[in-house]
Each structure stands twice: as C-alpha cells, then as structure tokens.
Amino acid sequence: MRVDPLEPSQLISRRPSRSITGWCGAGLVGSAMLAVLLAGCERSDQTEARPDPIRPVRVVTVEALPGGETVTLTGTVRAQDNVNLSFRVGGQFIERLVNLGDAVRTGQVVARLDAETARNAVQASRANLAAAMARLTEARNEVQRFEPLLERGFVSRQMFDRAVEAQQAAQAMVDTAEAQLRTAEHQLEWTELRADGPGVVTAVRAEPGEVVGAGQPVVELAREGGRDAVFDVPERVMEAASADDEVTVALSSAPSARTTGRVREASPQADPVTRTFEVRVGLADPPAAMRLGSTVTGTVRIGGAPGMEVPASALTAINGAPAVWVLDRSDDRVALRNVEVVRYELDRVLIGQGLDEGELVVTAGVQTLRPGQQVRLLGDAPPAVPPLGAADGLPADATIELEVPAEAGTEPAADAQADVDAATGDGANDTAAQDKTGDAE
C-alpha cells in the first residue's frame, strides 16, 4: 500500500492563537516558508506601510517686542550727600560720642579733642586784650588833658600830636587783641566736632587716643534727604543709554519694594580695574525698605530695533542662512522658514523678519525634523498605534512561529517530527498506513 506525501498547505494552520512549527525535512519547511513569505508580500502590496512615529516637540509662541533691549544691573543704595566730618584744628582725639549707624541731628557733638591748650590760648588772648584796653584808656585820658592846654598855649602842638598817635596805637592794639581772642575762642570751639546737618553715621575713621590733624576724616555722615542707586555700568550700555531713560529700581531681597529714577550723575572716566563707569540714579520717593547699603537691581531699556524674540535653541540653518521650524496647528506639520536675525544674545536671538506674531516656533527637537513632518506638542497624548498584524489582515491574537531549517545533509530531530505530526493531526494516520504496508509486504 502506498502513502501519498503530505502537502505543504497541511503544515500551516491559520487558526487564532495556535503556533505553526514544522520540521518535516529541509524541503518541506522551505516550501512552507516560501508560501508564507509570498502571502505576506501579496498582503503588503494591498495595505499601506506603517506611518512614521509622531515626534514630540516643544514650541514657543512668537511675541512682538518693542525696539531695544532690557538691561539689568546690580547696585547699592547710597545717600545723595555723603560728608566726612573732621576737626578744623589738630590735637589729641579723646572722645567719640556716636557709633556706626547712629542718627545725629544738626549741631550735635560727635567727637572731642583735648581742649587744654585752646583754653590757655583763650585766657592769654583775654589778658592781652585787657592790657591793650588799659593802654587805650591811658592814651585817651592824655589826649583829653592836652586839648584844653593846647588852646591856652601850655602844650605844644607836637606834644598833642604824639598823644593822639599814642591813642590810635592803643586802639589798634585793642583791635588786635580782640581778634586774637576771637581766634582763640574759635579754636576752643573747634575742639568739639558737631554735625552740620541731620543724617546717619556710615563710617568711623578715627578712634579716641589718636592724634589727628586738621581736616583728617573722623566720622562719615550720610545726610538725610535724597537717596541714589549706584551702579557700575559697562561701556556698551553707557554708549547706548540716555540720561532721560527711566530706570526701574527694585530691592533684591524684596522685589515688590520698587521705585523709579533717572540718571543724576555719570562718571566721565572708567574705573582703571573694572573698566566700568559709576552711575548714580536719583530715586524718586524710595520705600523705607531701601535702607542705605541695600542691594538693588536696576532695569532700563536701551534703544534698538524692534523684532521677535525666540530662544537660541530654536535657531537652525538652511543653505547657510538662519532658519527656524514653524508649526502649523491646523495639521500639526512643521515647515522650515528662513529668518533675519537682528541680534544674538547668550540664550536668545532677536528676529527682525520672517516671523509673525502668534506663530509657534519649535524650540526642542529641531535636529530630527524634516519639512512637512507631523509632530505633536510635548505633553499631549500620543496617537493610538494599531495592533501588530492588523495591517496584514490577521486577527490580533494570531501567532506565527517559524524556525530556520537545519543545514543540508542533516536530518530533522525526532521531536520536531512529532511536533509536525501533532500540528497536522495526521501523525496517527501515517503510522497506521505504514503498519498496513508492512503487513501487506
């Protein structure tokens, strides 16, 4: 009895969730693989290719900016008038009556010198004045005695003239002694250092026990009144800014405490070390929180061309010219557009032409885009992906397993043959047919 060989189609099962494995010899498995591949090619021609994954991107909305750029600098609050209080005479510094941070009023004594020498000078001047006054009195009495005697001829004109000259000399001596006394009294008064106006002590330059000279600073006083914000301004900002520009000044520790001001003074010479210019901005009605020495930030907008500001990461290039990726929300596709860059900064660029206000510019993922590519905004849910096998017309739970056949000249394993028999369901029939053939023989 002769048994027909199994057909390749009997080795393939299209039933869902059943594995198709076969080892019936190199020829049979090769035929099965060829049939499956041909069927896959036919189905791929009838279905569309799987679309590329939709990439997430980050975008920024373009906003039109006025001309110029905003410059922010850090400075300190100082008084408009700072004075160094010093003695007008030299001597030994014996007492300081104020400390750093003390508030003083007009005429208040802040320091004293040793006044012993000055008091002695005053006493000597008073004694000299008394002696001069005595000589003046004597000269006047002599002139008064000579006047009637001159009319009677008992005194010569020469003697009378000498008496008048002596009176005038005595008067001059009195005037000199009075001036010396006033000078001595002033020097005694100057041994006490007094504040010439209300203010706050901001520095102490000398300590008691030192011998100070006339004009040597002893106490630094910030007078009450206006306050300035002092900034070290670079040369580029100095050239672009104007004295009429309004400066917004805010306290660094409390940005809500802010005020405005205008440039009051600008140094004509740059600092030899930092190469910056000191600029003093007069503050209009500063808040109480802006105490002397506080750190503040000043913001001013200097002149320049208007444009659109975008992050520097959004900038790319096409044909050697700067360009950006613009997202069209109607179809979520990107387009590469050339732009004109007005100014480059550290983390942003100012676009002059090529963009309109309200457009969306891609700022992250620009290196992997191509014109017309569909994207999605970062944070949006990705689109649903069809299950594997749906494009081939197979049920979602169908599984196909193929194994590479053994090399030529080798025989398939017995267990593989058993798997094929079990998969086709014809193993028992084949064995029975072989038994009948043996019996016939």
Residue 11's pLDDT band (cuts 50, 70, 90): very low
Residue 325 maps to which CATH number?
Answer: 2.40.420.20
- Specify the amino acid at residue 106: T
Judge contact between 187 and 69, C-beta under 8 A. Answer: no
| Most confidently modeled range among 50-59, 129-138, 241-250, 308-317 | 129-138
Asked if residue 129 and residue 201 are part of one domain, the reply reads yes
Instruction: Supply 61's token pair.
Output: 């909305």
Inside any domain, residue 310:
yes
Pick from 278, 302, 326: which residue ends a domain? 302
Inside any domain, residue 383:
no
DSSP percent split of the chain into helix, strand, coil, nearest 5: 30, 30, 40
Pick from 302, 328, 354: which residue ends a domain? 302
Residues 424-432 have a mean pLDDT of: 44
DSSP 182: H
Judge contact between 312 and 348, C-beta under 8 A. Answer: yes
Residues 230-259 have a mean pLDDT of: 88
Inside any domain, residue 3:
no
Is the pLDDT score of 186 beyond 80? Answer: yes
Asked if residue 133 and residue 150 are part of one domain, the reply reads yes
pLDDT at 399: 52
Asked if residue 97 and residue 30 are part of one domain, the reply reads no
Residue 352: C-alpha distances to residues 241, 342, 349 (Å): 21, 5, 10
pLDDT at 316: 85
Residue 238 maps to which CATH number?
Answer: 2.40.30.170
- How far apart CA 319 and CA 335 sit, in angstroms, is 15
The count of structural domains within the chain is 4
Residue 8's pLDDT band (cuts 50, 70, 90): very low
Of residues 325 and 346, the one with the higher pLDDT is: 325
Asked if residue 311 and residue 294 are part of one domain, the reply reads no
Inside any domain, residue 384:
no
Asked if residue 358 and residue 249 are part of one domain, the reply reads no
Residue 128's pLDDT band (cuts 50, 70, 90): very high
pLDDT at 386: 52
Mean pLDDT of the chain: 77
- How far apart CA 312 and CA 344 sit, in angstroms, is 8
Residue 155 maps to which CATH number?
Answer: 1.10.287.470
Inside any domain, residue 219:
no
Residue 52's pLDDT band (cuts 50, 70, 90): low
Asked if residue 405 and residue 341 are part of one domain, the reply reads no
Asked if residue 207 and residue 147 are part of one domain, the reply reads yes
Query: Which domain, by its residues, includes 61?
Result: 55-66+306-377
- Specify the amino acid at residue 227: R
Q: What is the pTM of this model?
A: 0.49
Judge contact between 133 and 220, C-beta under 8 A. Answer: no
Is the pLDDT score of 304 beyond 80? Answer: no
Pick from 282, 302, 322: which residue ends a domain? 302
- How far apart CA 25 and CA 8 sit, in angstroms, is 11
Inside any domain, residue 382:
no
Asked if residue 237 and residue 289 are part of one domain, the reply reads yes
Inside any domain, residue 40:
yes
Asked if residue 128 and residue 207 are part of one domain, the reply reads yes
- How far apart CA 116 and CA 184 sit, in angstroms, is 12
Q: How far is the first Cα of the chain from the last one, in angstroms, to the nearest whole number? A: 9
- β-sheet bridge partners, residue 265: 280
Asked if residue 169 and residue 195 are part of one domain, the reply reads yes
